[in-house]
């Protein structure tokens, strides 16, 4: 026999009443059942918790020690269950959010702030990851929500567009293009490019390549960096040019110039994505929050 919460609840009532019939009434059971339950608990512990006669019930020293712990166990159990329910209905718990460089440079900070103001008991856990990594982690249940590049069409996933950005060319301020107001994409054909690492930035490259192809060239990538900050650093050193999006370019360090690509209408979309079968707890509230926002421009 393993002692259960039932036994512990029966014990607390008996310890408080010190009278088996009254304790049984309080518990809504018959006195013999209570008598046997306490005996079973004592047998399991191999400890006398009460000294009883047919006239009186007294609690032992061990019983008093057990009573302190028993009250804590019950309180902790009730609290744990209540917190699980609260987490289930989304009012508390962790929300693991993945984000790309484009998301964190754009709409995401304000989204997180707005949501956090509405759900103070939810703990946001932002985790950087490129799009493909986020998708994998969503599948594995390691992320609740992702902010990724481009529309995602995948079974079991749903999404909502949260931002849409024009492409921009970034050059060093010493570059001949720096004094221009804008460029045609074809003018980059002979330039050295700086880009992200071939594994992590494959997804972004798959958006950039068709744009260049239409102008008759493939970007000649001479340098790779790990993230946008690294890319921009290499560009400002004159190692080449790059193409990023308007939000990433909106707060440039000195030494860099951003140029519109006048003949490029394509935009880079950032979407919030989630697994439909995992939309429970705080994630459900976040998606509700997103749906209530005006559409992204």
Nearer to a second copy, 135 or 212 (CB): 135
Nearer to DNA, 53 or 110 (CB): 53
Per-residue 3-state assignment (H helix, E strand, C coil) for the chain: CCCCHHHHHHHHHHHHHCCHHHHHHHHCCCHHHHHHHHHHHHHHHCCCCEEECCCCEEECHHHHHHHHHHHHHHHHHHHHHHHHHHHHCCCCEEEEEEECHHHHHCCHHHHHHHHHHHCCCEEEEEEECCHHHHHHHHHCCCCCEEEEECCCCCCCEEEEEEEEEEEEEEEECCCHHHHCCCECHHHHCCCEEEEECCCCCHHHHHHHHHHHHHCCCCCEEEEEECCHHHHHHHHHCCCCEEEEECCCCCCCCCCEEEEEECCCCCEEEEEEEEEHHHCCCHHHHHHHHHHCCCCCC
Nearer to a second copy, 32 or 141 (CB): 141
**Residue 45 interacts with, from DNA, a second copy, none (CB under 5-8 Å by kind):** a second copy
**Any contact of residue 87 with a second copy (CB under 8 A)?**
yes
**Any contact of residue 46 with a second copy (CB under 8 A)?**
yes
Number of residues near a second copy (by CB under 8 A): 51
Site map for a second copy, 144-183, x if CB under 8 A? Answer: x---------------------------------------
Nearer to DNA, 168 or 275 (CB): 275
HSE on the CB side for 131, CA within 13 Å?
Answer: 21
Collapsing DSSP states into helix, strand and coil, what is residue 140? coil
Q: How far is the CB of 144 from DNA (least distance, A)?
A: 20
Q: How far is the CB of 26 from DNA (least distance, A)?
A: 12
Site map for a second copy, 63-82, x if CB under 8 A? Answer: xxxx-xxx-xx--xx-xxx-
Residue 163 backbone dihedrals phi, psi, to 5 degrees: -160, 155
**Residue 94 interacts with, from a second copy, DNA, none (CB under 5-8 Å by kind):** a second copy
Q: Which residues bind DNA (CB under 7 A)?
A: 1, 4, 6, 19-21, 28-33, 35-40, 52-55, 57
Q: Is 238 left (phi over 0), alpha (psi -120 to 50) or beta?
A: left
Alpha helices (H) along 106-260 = 108-118, 131-139, 202-214, 228-236
Q: Which stretch binds a second copy (CB under 8 A): 53-61, 106-114, 158-166, 256-264?
A: 53-61
Nearer to a second copy, 87 or 166 (CB): 87
**Any contact of residue 45 with a second copy (CB under 8 A)?**
yes
Site map for a second copy, 112-151, x if CB under 8 A? Answer: ----------------------------xx--x-------
**Residue 5 interacts with, from a second copy, DNA, none (CB under 5-8 Å by kind):** a second copy
Nearer to a second copy, 73 or 239 (CB): 73
Binding footprint of a second copy on the chain (CB under 8 A): 2-6, 8, 45-49, 51, 56, 58-66, 68-70, 72-73, 76-77, 79-81, 83-88, 92-95, 140-141, 144, 277-278, 280-283
């Amino acid at each position: 026999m393993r002692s259960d919460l039932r036994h512990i609840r029966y014990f607390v009532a008996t310890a408080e009443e010190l009278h088996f019939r009254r304790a049984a009434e309080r518990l809504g059971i018959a006195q013999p059942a209570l008598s046997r339950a306490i005996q079973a608990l004592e047998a399991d512990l191999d400890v006398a918790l009460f000294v009883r006669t047919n006239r009186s019930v007294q609690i032992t020293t061990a019983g008093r020690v057990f009573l302190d712990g028993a009250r804590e166990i019950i309180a902790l159990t009730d609290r744990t269950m209540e917190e699980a329910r609260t987490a289930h209905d989304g009012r508390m718990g962790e929300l693991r959010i993945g984000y790309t460089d484009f998301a964190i440079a754009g709409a995401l900070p304000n989204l997180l702030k707005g949501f956090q103001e509405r759900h103070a008991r939810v703990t946001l856990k932002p985790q950087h990851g490129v799009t493909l990594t986020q998708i994998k982690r969503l599948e594995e249940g390691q992320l609740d929500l992702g902010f990724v590049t481009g529309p995602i069409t995948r079974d079991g996933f749903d999404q909502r567009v949260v931002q849409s950005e024009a492409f921009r060319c970034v050059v060093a301020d010493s570059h001949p293009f720096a004094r221009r107001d804008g460029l045609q994409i074809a003018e980059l054909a002979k330039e050295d490019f700086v880009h992200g690492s071939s594994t992590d930035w494959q997804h972004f490259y798959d958006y950039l390549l068709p744009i260049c192809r239409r102008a008759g060239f493939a970007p000649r990538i001479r340098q790779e960096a790990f993230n946008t900050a690294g890319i921009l650093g290499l560009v400002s050193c004159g190692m080449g040019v790059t193409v990023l999006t308007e939000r990433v370019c909106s707060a440039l360090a000195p030494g860099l110039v951003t140029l519109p690509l006048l003949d490029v209408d394509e935009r880079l979309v950032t979407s919030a994505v989630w697994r439909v079968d995992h939309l429970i707890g705080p994630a459900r509230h976040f998606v509700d929050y997103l749906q209530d926002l005006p559409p992204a421009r």
